[in-house]
Structure 1
């Protein structure tokens, strides 16, 4: 069988990370004798967008992506980067073309696709999902109705052979709800979680990404009330906690090994923050950075974090401190492979192999200030808004930034607390809030002469 070269040659970039997949309208095999060098070249082909790259257990690479025709694209490459086979996945149901928007794969070599199936009019579309085996054959397909125009943002495989997904549904009343769901290994629905928009939220709710955690829970990134949002769902799809970031126009989130997560968000003025969220959703630390936008976020093999921006890749250590940068620009995806080797996806469909130890250290304060600006001392809760059910209790975290570094540290145990309406919600001396009855109130914390407030909604 003929093969194409997926990558080749040595990269001179400063540090290495994950990989990503793109889609291209391709045949089942490349032309005889053709060599396609992805690293530093034109990419997989015109109209392809990589959405996933996975190192399989037999040391091969699966690729997934979307073509310009909204077909799925899947491929298998050997460890040297030669394409073994590739397929264009175009599926029609009732003479209507499925519009695929997300493709992922697992370590077994199976592929998971999500998209939209046109409905009875231009205002309706159902969610469509299918799983393919390691040869590209269809194992099952599933249609999920939302009563509106459905759009799948992401799919992700889970350990039982099924998948989870995030999507939105736009309704005739101009509202937009977020859909998060799980399908089992047979394609049957296990649970569906809907986050509905309110009348005061003209932009609606969006769930864009989902990451399975090692404890069986799921971390979801999206937006609500015009703010970047993070939700944690348990294995049954029940909301565990939610968090909003005010002033953030875009962001990324990924799950961490401790059951929490890491979020990166940036404002329209380029002021960003990398935030470590604990298992209960509390903010453990936060570090400022500067970037025009956030294109990707991934955990690195050494316990740190890799942030893809239009300007390049930034490496943070496990405390959120900047360690170095790369000159690899427009990174839209980062994927871990083996050891300290990773693959970065640039400009949607160019793959570059990287090594974690190959990055430029920031030795001067001048270079560091370009990425981590000085920030005035400030006291704040880990969230400006909280939501809680009546009868439930969870902790809040009070953070203080000191010495102008912008780094925030917890001072909860040293703070004093108060609830404006204890009949709706109470807060104890350790910052734990308990919902009493439906309503809204404000909680207050004070520390070393500073004070901060947050709004709480009880459902």
Structure 2
């Protein structure tokens, strides 16, 4: 497919999304600038996982490539290599002591071996933990837990390690399938995400790995979620978000604290778009990363990275197709993640082909995008600066956000609170009920913006 035609279809899909949700693409564009590429670097390894580090740099790990064994790499904030080690893995996370934890799967199907390594801040291995036997089929993600231990997952298993790498507990179940992500939740338990041909799936575990509930989504309809999707995260309100693919598009589902779906949004053009990562941003929005089929090079299908930023209600703020202008290269990301300066980093594989479509070379790629606007809305207002209500009476409120000079009713996406709950109560929809004589302050919060009004009860 012609690149420009595909991009027109992408924009048409975004416009359709805007019209069906009542959102103005023009006003959003006026309020949020699409980030630009600040720099792009390549590294001689097969990409696994990357993260930002506390010093503003990046840590990444992957598999060795050809004669280049150094696939454990630390860079500065500009992507310049500070050190590289001949160590490999599939997943990595920063640890509380400033070091790193890495994980990989290996061995054979008959005798699989799974290795976890703890390193210091400069990549020196402090200890190694090896698990043998059919404990886990493939290690997809490892994270440190608040007790100083570690949690990691594979396609059908969850393993908890203590601070020294010894197994604290393990859960392997046919109920788990294609596990893609793990995150410790506010209550000390865990949320797992996965996707397969039957849909997207969430599991909530307690702190000992016991399943407390499970939910499935998109199991029927026009199409199904694709294998490999199912990136999940807890949201600031105590609920959850899970991202995957449906009918060739990105899909994002927001749930409450028990996994019940609250809303679902799709993004893209139904043209073979594949989700690769989901992150909840500091303002409660969502950062989606993946890649999309954009064209053909002779017989070969070619993909390019796609990044989408939404607000907390899932409304698209900006999207970017990562086209470098070279018809012979394709990019397929592993993750897109926020950076400490408010920007976005994209980590994945960059591959170059001949004009006839024959493979030439590939490498890990790290792209830094500039910070976007701090908030999609320029202002937030309640429909009155003062409200009066009798004891036992009730009245509603309306919250309006201003985007590029245009106003939008955002009441149903707003959080409400009152300073004195003995005088007034307020529900999730912003309805005020007078409880006893007096006055207090009502605060409405939306996307890090606040509006206040005085409430009098008589």
Q: TM-score, normalised by structure 1?
A: 0.58
Cα drift, residue 115 of structure 1? 2.0
* Aligned equivalent of 1:104, options 90, 93, 97: 93
* Aligned equivalent of 1:243, options 215, 218, 229: 215
Cα drift, residue 166 of structure 1? 0.6
Do 2:70 and 2:84's aligned partners in 1 also have CA atoms closer than 8 Å? no
Q: Determine the C-alpha separation between the residues in 2 that align with 1:224 and 1:240.
A: 21
2:320 counterpart of 1:326:
yes
In the alignment, what sits opposite 2:105?
A: 116
Q: Determine the C-alpha separation between the residues in 2 that align with 1:327 and 1:206.
A: 28
- Residues 40-439 of structure 1 aligned to structure 2 (within 5 Å): 40=40, 43-45=42-44, 47-56=45-54, 58-68=55-65, 73-89=71-87, 100-106=89-95, 108-118=97-107, 123-147=110-134, 150-168=137-155, 178-196=156-174, 205-223=177-195, 226-245=198-217, 246=219, 247-250=224-227, 251=229, 252-267=231-246, 269-290=247-268, 291=270, 292-311=273-292, 312-328=306-322, 330-347=332-349, 349-357=364-372
Cα drift, residue 301 of structure 1? 2.5
Q: Determine the C-alpha separation between the residues in 2 that align with 1:215 and 1:149.
A: 26
Q: Which runs of 4+ in 1 moved over 6 A?
A: 69-72
Secondary structure of 2:163's partner?
Answer: coil
Higher helix residue share: 2
In the alignment, what sits opposite 2:438?
A: none
Cα drift, residue 319 of structure 1? 0.7
- Structure 2 unaligned residues grouped into runs of 5+: 1-32, 293-305, 324-331, 351-363, 377-411, 413-458
Q: Determine the C-alpha separation between the residues in 2 that align with 1:135 and 1:193.
A: 33
Do 1:151 and 1:167's aligned partners in 2 also have CA atoms closer than 8 Å? yes
Do 1:167 and 1:180's aligned partners in 2 also have CA atoms closer than 8 Å? yes
Do 2:47 and 2:334's aligned partners in 1 also have CA atoms closer than 8 Å? no
Cα drift, residue 183 of structure 1? 0.8
Give CA deviations for 1:209-258 in whole Å, capped at 9, x if unaligned.
Answer: 21223432222122467433221212221212212221211423223233
Cα drift, residue 50 of structure 1? 4.2
- Structure 1 unaligned residues grouped into runs of 5+: 1-12, 18-37, 91-99, 169-177, 198-203, 362-408, 410-459
Larger Rg: 2
Q: Determine the C-alpha separation between the residues in 1 that align with 2:340 and 2:165.
A: 30
In the alignment, what sits opposite 2:441?
A: none
Q: Determine the C-alpha separation between the residues in 2 that align with 1:110 and 1:238.
A: 29
How many residues of Structure 1 are paired with residues of Structure 2 in the alignment?
300
Q: Determine the C-alpha separation between the residues in 2 that align with 1:152 and 1:257.
A: 27
Do 2:333 and 2:347's aligned partners in 1 also have CA atoms closer than 8 Å? yes
Cα drift, residue 182 of structure 1? 1.1
- Alpha-carbon distance change, 179 to 270 in structure 1, aligned in 2, over 3 angstroms: same
Q: TM-score, normalised by structure 2?
A: 0.58
